[in-house]
Amino acid sequence: MTTGSTERIPPALRTEALEQLLTERGLIDPDTMDRIITTYETNVGPLNGAKVVARAWTDPEYRRWLLDDGTAAIRELGYVGRQAEHIVVVENTATTHNVVVCTLCSCYPWSVLGLPPSWYKDPAYRARMVREPRRVLSEMGLDLADDVRITVHDSSSEVRWLVLPERPAGTEGLTAEQLVPLVTRDAMVGVAKVKAP
């Protein structure tokens, strides 16, 4: 195999081949790998963050608490763990849009957002979002009006940020359970808006 030829092999196939090789050599246990994957797919991930957002949208007291002390309010729902030691929550409104980046590495609140997407770790996203957020957001499919103020929050090892997205119009009669499926990871990072059903 020549240098660069692995770029043509889909990542899923490369991952499967690597897992098989490590299993054959006794370096990993497939059952353990399955448990880890299941944990991040079901117990840790964007669904947790969506539940936090939906509760804040339907419970004004919880919303105030979340914006005042995100770590405690999120912990109350049972979402603790890796990179959730100190989470600050900021709210998007019709006139203010918040977006999160980690300029140094990829600090990210795993317990509420799951594994960080590849674009979040990309050096271009990390550098450009700070310099030209409106343009990067537009390239990612989010066009904001010129009068919307954009604030970029830099996550670090001390503080992780979570965006409380703006609740979409037409969802006033929905319950928290009905709102959860509408909330995406990208909206909680601030690179997208939540769409009405």
Q: Catalytic residue numbers? A: 102, 105-107
Pairing of strands 149-154, 160-164: unpaired
5 is annotated as contributing to ligand binding: no
The residues, any chain, with a CB within 8 Å of residue 77's CB and separated by 6 or more, are 48, 51, 52, 55
102 is annotated as contributing to ligand binding: yes
Residue 45 gets the label, from left (phi > 0), alpha (psi -120 to 50) or beta, of: left
Indicate if the alpha-carbon torsion angle 33, 39, 42, 44 is positive or negative.
negative
Tokens (6 digits) for 81 = 């763990």
Does residue 192 contact residue 137 with C-beta atoms inside 8 Å? no
Does residue 127 contact residue 179 with C-beta atoms inside 8 Å? no
Please tell me the distance from the alpha carbon of residue 27 to that of residue 86, in angstroms, as a whole number. 34
106 is annotated as contributing to ligand binding: yes
Which residue ranges make up the annotated binding site for Fe(3+)? 102, 105-107
Which residue ranges make up the annotated binding site? 102, 105-107
